[in-house]
Structure formats: structure tokens, C-alpha cells
Amino acid sequence: MFAVAVITLLVGIFAGLSRLQITVPDISLQFAAFHGPLLISGFFGVVISLERAVAVKTATAYAAPVLNAVGTLLLLLFGIVAGAQLLAIAAATVLTVVSLQLLRKVKADFTVILAGSAACWSIGGMVWWFTNDTARATLLWFAFLIITIAGERLELTRLLGTPQHAKRWCHAIVVTIMIGALGYALVLPGAGTLFSVGLTLLAAWLIRYDLARHNMRQTGMTRYIAACLLSGYGWLGLAGVLGLLGAFVPGSPLRDSALHALGLGFVMAMVFGHALIIFPAIARIKVAYHAAFYIPLALLHGSLALRVAGKVLDITPLQQFGAVANALTFIFFAVVMVWGVRKGRNLSRRPATHG
Amino acid sequence: MSLPPDEITESSIRQVLSQIIDPEVGANIVDMGLIYNIALTPTAVSIEMTMTSPACPMGDMILDDIDQTLRHYLPEGMTHAVNVVWDPPWDPSKMSPSLRERFHLEDPDNIDDLDLEKYLK
């Protein structure tokens, strides 16, 4: 499953580059229209449902990543779009049910939010299936990623004793994002703006209440994760502001920048931070932290800034350069991860710890 | 180096377990209040603990680290077992005073952390 996720990520990246008239392997060209579905529903669908399955450890939970991986392979190998659509809906529905089942163990708001995020993926899949219009499903798919992160962060803010009024704000923001994304899929006026209000408020909420600010005073991996999170919140806020300026109105020239601020700036920064925890949890291979992890993080943000600047200023070569640099950043991050795994092998011979 | 058998106490086991860090939080699992109970017999250590979330995949890593650490510190012939429980659920009042201070958590008793419980009953 992990291999399918990696292949999907690579094809999705090449498909995205091909949309910017950048030369990519021929095989990727046919998937240019599937850049979003491959990366969000395909790649992140497998990764997030696999991550949840590792935690829950039931056969039902593992059905979600398996179904989604099979659906993605049907699209990649045989071009069967309906297979990818239907199996993504099935996988997302399983993830929703599995997340709701967690309420039996811990009755908490963040478990409901995690189930809500999975439901967004499921509804996004249904929109894709019924309309064959990936653009209409895009905000629901992003809501899946954003709300998953919001739920996981809300869970950790308990260490800070988050006051009740702050929690209610978080609940309201999550509902705003969900309604905005759903309204956008239904082509309701103002839905994109509502979604953007949610993004902007969520960025402010996370900067104010998340553990990350406190952990910037720590050292090592803890501070690195906090740096990834805080830098991602900046991009989340920027995506919200671009949305308020009309980025989610169909045909807006800001749309590409807003979506990539979300997908690369916010979501991938979370991935860079948590890969050192999630990869060992899934693959059962220890990854040692090293300060070199800051290099791909800086490259991610720098290349995205060039890409966004290129688009906003209408300088195509700058946008293309930023996009290629973004793609190379993933390869560089993979190299640093492999290095971390090699170092981790030595560490695992000693007792404990991750830190 | 393993602990001498006469030094195996609840306190020494807690000290050993406090080497295990949750990297996301930057705190050890004892200070976080994840260790609920440690039962000792002359030949076995039994630990009852929780996690902050059932959705977090890091649980297995923490359990692996506990296993690895106890193997290192317990004398030969002494076994260990870890049982993860969800009742009572973790809440911030279980954190150590030093960790609460670090997070500026003044009075966790004032925080109705699991208010959803009453709505779902």
C-alpha cells in the first residue's frame, strides 16, 4: 500500500508539472486532469487511512487504505476512472465509520472532527462520481485534509488546557469549512468565501492555541515539528486571504496559488514534520532526527513562494521554476529521510527514545 | 546495564520509563501522565497505561520503546507486560506539576475537558 501511495504521489506531481507546460515522462501526461484526485484522494487518502488503521488495528480499518489503493491502481494502470471514484467513496466511508467507532474508546470532540473530515473525503468522492468534475470536489477534498489536521491538533491542545470558549471556536471554524466546501460543490454563491473565512480563522486559532508555539522553545525533533507546523499555519492563513480575495471563484487567477498554498505550504509542511513519526509508525522503521531536515523544509517554502509569486505576477518561467523546485524538494526530503533511517538503525540498538 | 533486583520499585520503573519521549509533545510519557499503574511481583512488572488519543498511530512506537527499555533495565528472568486502557480517559490533570507549569496550565480542574461525554451518554 505504501508503494502505491509513493507511485501515486510521483505520478500526481508529474501530472501537475505537465499542466505548467513542463516536460515530464509521457506516462504522466494522460493524468494531467487527475492531478488533484491523485494527490489528495489517492495519495493522502491511502496515507491517512493507513495511519488510522495502524492506530486502530482492526481488519475493517485496514480495508480503507486497501480499497483506495486498489481504486488508484485501477486508474493508473487501466485508466478506469469509475473504479477509482467508487473505491475512493467506499474507502472514505469505511474511514468515517472507523473514526466514529473511536468514540467508544474516547468520547471527545476531536474524534467527531476526525470522522467529519473523513465524511468530507467521502462526499468529495461522490461529487466526483456524479459530476466527473474534479474542480467541484476540490474543496471537499481539501476539507478532508485540513479538518483531519485540525482534529489532530485540537487533541494535542488539551495539554495546554484549552479553555471551553476556544474549543467552541474551533468547532465553529471546522463546521464553517465543511459548509463552505459542501456549498462550493453544490455551486452555491458565497461558499468559497465562507470556506476562506474558515481557513483564515483556523490559521489564527492554530497560531494562538496550538502546542507548536510552546514547542519552539524546545530542541531537536520537537522544535523541528513545531517549525513545520507554524510555517504551515502561515500558508493556511495566506490561502484564506487569497480565498477572501476571490481565489475560489471559478476562473480566478488566484486559484492556483490558494490551492497550492494549502496543499504544499500547509499540508506538506505537516507531512515534513510528522513523517519522522508517521513513517516509523507505519513501516516500523526508526528515523533519527537531524538538523538537516530543516533544509527541505526551507526549500519547500522557498520554492512555493517563487511559484506563488510567479503566478501572481504572471511570470510563467518563475512559476515553472518554483514548481520544479517544489518537486525536487520532495526528492531531497526523501534523501534526508533515508539518511535518518540509516542513523535510526544505530539508535534502535540502544534503549528508548524518539527525542 | 540492568537494575539490581532489590532496586526494582515502582519509583525506579517510573524513572526508567521517563526516558521515553513523545517527540510531538517534547515530554516524557511519565510526566504526561500516561502511566496509570505499575504492579510488581518478584518476577514480573505489569504496567497499565493510556494514550492521549486512540487515533494516533504513534502508540505502537511508544509500546516498542517501553519494551526495548524494560528489556534493557530489568534483570534476566524478570518479565514485563503493558496493558493499554482507555478508562479512565486521559485528561490534562494527569500531567506532572512540572509539565503543567511548562505549558502554563494553571488549574486543569477548571477545564471541562471531556464535556462531550455527557452529551453522548
pLDDT score at A349: 53
Q: Which residues in chain A come in under a pLDDT of 70? A: 346-355
Is the peptide bond prior to B88 cis by the omega test (within 30 degrees of 0)? yes
Instruction: Provide the strand spans (E) within A260-350.
Output: none
Contacts of A288 in chain B (CB under 8 A): none
- Which three-class secondary structure state does DSSP give residue B39? strand
pLDDT score at A278: 85
- Which three-class secondary structure state does DSSP give residue B22? strand
- Using alpha carbons only, give the angle A121, A125, A201 rounded to the nearest 5 degrees: 35
Are residues A278 and A272 in contact, defined by beta-carbon separation less than 8 angstroms? no
Mean confidence (pLDDT) of chain A = 93
Give the closest of A54, A108, A354 to B60, CB-based.
Answer: A54
**How many angstroms separate the CA of residue B48 from the nearest CA in chain A?**
16
pLDDT average, residue stretch B89-111: 80
pLDDT score at B14: 96
Please, which pLDDT band fits residue B107 given cuts at 50, 70 and 90? Answer: low
- ipTM score assigned to the predicted complex: 0.84
- Containing B41, the helix (H) or strand (E) segment is strand B35-41
Q: How far apart are CA A200 and CA A197, in angstroms?
A: 5
The three three-digit cell numbers of residue A63, written as one number: 480495508
Residue type, A295: I
Report in angstroms the alpha-carbon separations of B20 from A352, B65, B66, B88: 6, 7, 7, 22
The three three-digit cell numbers of residue B64, written as one number: 516498542
Q: How far apart are CA A135 and CA A62, in angstroms?
A: 29
pLDDT score at B121: 47
Three-state secondary structure string covering A31-95:
CHHHHHHHHHHHHHHHHHHHHHHHHHCCHHHHHHHHHHHHHHHHHHHHCCHHHHHHHHHHHHHHH
Contacts of A109 in chain B (CB under 8 A): 116
**How many angstroms separate the CA of residue B41 from the nearest CA in chain A?**
23
Residue of A nearest to B68 (CA): A351
Q: What percent of chain B has pLDDT over 70?
A: 86
Residue-wise pLDDT tens digits, B47-58: 999 999 888 888
The per-residue b/e assignment along A111-143, b for 16 or more CB within 10 angstroms, e otherwise, is bbbbbbbbbbbbbbbbbbbeeeebebbbbbbbb
Give the closest of B25, B27, B116 to A107, CB-based.
Answer: B116
Strands B79-84 and B21-22: unpaired
pTM for this entry: 0.92
Binary contact (A351, B73; C-beta < 8 A): yes
pLDDT average, residue stretch B37-60: 91
